[in-house]
Amino acid sequence: MSHSLEPSRLMVALHALPSVLLQSAFFVVPLCMTIALSFQETQYYQVQWVWSLTTWTEIFTTYYYWKILFNTVLMSLACVGLCAMIGFPIAYALVTRFQKWQATIKILLVFAFLTDAVLKTFGWVVFLDQTGPANFVLNFLGLPDLPDWVIYSRVSVLFGMVYTLLPFSIFTIYLSVDMIDKNLLRAAYDCGASKFRAFYEVTLPLCKNGLMAGALLVFVLSLGSFLEPKVLGGGKNPMAAELIRQTFETRINWPLGSALTIVVISITVITILLASRLLDLGQGRKK
């Protein structure tokens, strides 16, 4: 390694330690404490530091919690599917078309992504409202109002989730499509492959990892959706994050809230482990 500075221990520590300290003190340790808290009891809205399994028995025997968790996973899966289906053509088009406008479109996407989530959700509420622009435009075109099942329903929640998380899917897929060596495609054409054939045999397999990473990111983040079900769903179909907030805020049951948090995090971790296993397998086969 003649071209690289040999880092002294001090140098490494100086660079890596702040981040290690921050993430241990405010991420790893709090997480461990949450796990510990889920094994405590509560009485009169106060945590009793007595080790017990009461909370966990309650969780595993209450149908209501599992219904909400199941609903959350289902909504997240639907969101993943929609994001991948919309995100892929967009990312592909961004790389292969729009040479001139690419920078502008990217800025527009980044801006939409970085804008305050509360404001964007609020914008949708105003837009979809009974006397809002959506119905105004529909009526103007001679069409009837939006049906009831569109706003304050699962449809609008899913809509909002896709809106919030689509950029993640577009960005990750974009990176993987952008990294494809164009010579591979040229080689495929030289061998007489049609455009479709080249797409299916070269492009699609090569951006599989990007698709998977995007899907994983969207799934994990949508498990924690809170604004969409609360604001766009009208509170009729609560999802896990809302249930957890309520447990802390209105029921003031810390052990139960902690345990529910752990359940959602476990789903996240298991999904990530499974996905990394799958990705490794795919790479192993190629070699």
Within 176-205, the residues that bind other proteins by CB under 8 A are: 195
Q: Note whether 39 binds other proteins by CB under 8 A.
A: no
Task: Work out whether strand 46-48 and strand 41-43 pair parallel, antiparallel, or are unpaired.
Answer: antiparallel
Residue whose CB is less far from other proteins, 56 or 113: 113
In the complex, least distance from residue 19 CB atom to other proteins, rounded to whole angstroms: 4
For other proteins, which stretch binds (CB under 8 A), given 146-154, 184-192, 261-269, 279-287? 261-269
**Cβ neighbours of residue 124 under 8 Å, at least 6 residues apart?**
156, 159, 160, 163, 232
Among 50, 53, 112, 191, binds other proteins (CB under 8 A): 112
| CA-to-CA separations, 31 to 42, 46, 203, 266, in angstroms, rounded | 19, 20, 40, 12
Q: Note whether 120 binds other proteins by CB under 8 A.
A: yes
Q: Note whether 116 binds other proteins by CB under 8 A.
A: yes
Residue whose CB is less far from other proteins, 15 or 186: 15
Residue whose CB is less far from other proteins, 75 or 264: 264
Q: Note whether 123 binds other proteins by CB under 8 A.
A: yes
Per-position b or e across 126-153, b if 16+ CB within 10 A of its CB? eebeeeeebbeeeeeeeeeebeeeebbb
Q: Note whether 138 binds other proteins by CB under 8 A.
A: no
Residue whose CB is less far from other proteins, 249 or 285: 249
Within 17-36, the residues that bind other proteins by CB under 8 A are: 17-20, 22-24, 26-31, 33-34
